[in-house]
Amino acid sequence: MVALDAMEKTATFELWQVELNDFLGTCIKIRGAVDQVSTAIDAGYSVAERMQGNPFRSVISQLSSGGTKGIESRVEFNQLIQQNVVKLPTPASNHTSDDRANSVSKVSVQALGFIETQGFTAVFEAIDTACKAAQVEVVGKEKLGGGYVTIVIRGDVAAVTAAIEAARPKVDGLGKLVAAHVIARPSPSVLALLP
């Protein structure tokens, strides 16, 4: 989500699909003009590297129809983690840069916070602390496999920041903190993929 937000704030493209894999990776598939896609991919790659991820990137110009059939996936529900592992954006997330600017301004005072842990007990303690620390709302929970769980909260920037900062130390001793991050003014594509 953090990489996608940076991508959409850097370039204009269409979000195609997001696909989770069994190795806790996420594949963000986008399409559009080659220069815009390249700029977006570079921005997302940089963010993933800064977050100690192990990102890979590829830009395919003039994708063949045969290639499209191999890359595009059907929406798929994983029984083990009880959620979709192939996600399509809502129609509202595919818009022009003018539409995007207007949409972002509607949520300019909003923020999203992410707490990702390895271990349910840790994430439950963290989210309870976050909700007690500030006026935030839980948007949803995503199980990523391997005991990895992400909880997403929203509210104004100050509240979400305070909630995430209060929650971060609660993970110690209960599990492993994978990530704790705040996105101010989340992009439309990020909002379209929320759980």
What are the pLDDT digits (tens) for 68-86?
Answer: 878 888 888 887 777 788 8
Burial 67-89 (b: 16+ CB within 10 A, else e): eeeeeebeeeeeeebebbbbbbb
Burial (CB count within 10 angstroms: exposed 0-12, middle 13-18, buried 19+), residue 187:
buried
53 pLDDT higher than 80: no
Number of domains comprising the chain: 2
Q: How far apart are CA 163 and CA 186, in angstroms?
A: 17
**106 pLDDT higher than 50:** no
Contact predicate 149/117, CB 8 Å: yes
pLDDT band for position 147 (cuts 50, 70, 90): confident
Compute, in degrees rounded to 10, the torsion defined by CA atoms 93, 96, 100, 101.
Answer: 180
pLDDT in tens, 8-17: 999 999 999 9
Residue 181 has pLDDT above 80, yes or no: yes
Task: Please indicate, yes or no, whether residues 78 and 113 belong to a single structural domain of this protein.
Answer: no
148 or 108, which is more confident: 148
Kindly state whether residues 22 and 52 are assigned to the same domain. Answer: yes
Q: Which residue has the higher pLDDT, 18 or 146?
A: 18
Question: Which whole number is the average pLDDT over 124-143?
Answer: 92
Domain boundary among 102, 133, 159: 102
Choose between 100 and 183: higher pLDDT: 183
Which residues lie across from 181 on neighbouring strands? 114
| Domain identity same for 114 and 76 | no
Where in the sequence is the domain holding 10, given as residue range(s)?
2-89+96-102
- What percent of the chain has a predicted confidence (pLDDT) above 70? 89
Q: What band does 96 get if pLDDT is binned at 50, 70 and 90?
A: very low
Residues 183, 118 share a domain: yes
Question: 77 and 6 in one domain?
Answer: yes
**56 and 121 in one domain?**
no
Domain edge (last residue) among 71, 102, 133: 102
Which ranges of the chain does DSSP label H, i.e. alpha helix?
Answer: 2-10, 34-50, 65-71, 97-106, 120-133, 157-167, 188-192
Residue 154: give its domain's CATH number. 3.30.70.1710
What type of residue sits at position 160? V
Asked whether residue 133 falls in the same domain as residue 161, the answer is yes
Final residue in a domain of this structure, among 77, 102, 127 = 102
| Domain co-membership, 78 together with 148 | no
Return mean pLDDT, the chain: 84
d(CA 156, CA 110) in angstroms, rounded, equals: 4
**Widest Cα–Cα separation across the chain:** 52
Q: What angle do CA 81, 87, 143 make, to 5 degrees?
A: 25
Same domain, 76 and 133: no
How far apart are alpha carbons 183 and 154 in whole angstroms? 9
Query: Are 123 and 164 within one domain?
Result: yes
Query: Residue 11: how many CA atoms within 13 Å on its side-chain side?
Result: 21
**Tell me, what amino acid is at 73?**
S
